[in-house]
Amino acid sequence: MRETVIILVSALVLSLIVKTFLVQAFFIPSASMHDTLIENDRILVSKLSPGPFDLHRGDIVVFKDPGGWLPAPVETERGPIGTAVRDTLTYVGLYPDDAGEHLVKRLIGLPGDHVTCAGAGKKLTVNGAPLDEPYLAPGAQPCETAFDTVVPPESMWVMGDNRQHSADSRFHQGEPGGGSVPLKNVVGKAFVIVWPADHWQLLRNPGATFADVPDPS
């Protein structure tokens, strides 16, 4: 019995350390990242970015709601025991966090980047370089309405792959930060889909898309 308790406690402590410093699980609740991520996909997020490994344009990032991006969560009644079990498993990283406080988008612009789109049918540009975006959902346009923004210091500009179904940076330009998200809100970078099994895949950065983007002037 003592050995079993030691093993269980050790596993929980290790899981908590991994969740806190290395990797955390999340699930996808909406269609905003189709077809890269679809509803109920489970993803693992590296918490080493930003940090030892910097973020790059094209990364899929999970970040905490900077305020007003998400509707108030609807609480599901699970009973005291069910709630306690789920909260404990979530805390130690054995159950994926929900989207009650977090969003998943693609990082398009880094601090100082000039991100523009001339409107429907036009390509997105970053620092004057037009982007070919192979990750967009079938039939999705790079943008529906024109915008022109410069990403503030210590911030990022994010957009969903399913552009016409993603309430991303474009829709928050009238708020503090002009639609950009503070880098301090970033939880980490998604690197793999782990569930369901038939959708398992590594989430690679589309480096070629941003290869010709110059540094901000």
Please list, residue by residue across 110-124, b when 16 or more beta carbons sit within 10 angstroms of its beta carbon and e when fewer do: beebbbbbeeeeeeb
Rounded-to-integer distance, Cα 118 and Cα 103, Å: 26
Burial class (CB in 10 A: 0-12, 13-18, 19+), 188: buried
Closest among 173, 112, 99 to 143, alpha carbons compared: 173
Rounded-to-integer distance, Cα 187 and Cα 209, Å: 24
Supply the residues annotated as catalytic. Answer: 32, 105
Closest among 41, 12, 90, 68 to 201, alpha carbons compared: 41
Rounded-to-integer distance, Cα 165 and Cα 104, Å: 13
Tokens standing for residue 147: 């915008």
Residues in the chain: 217
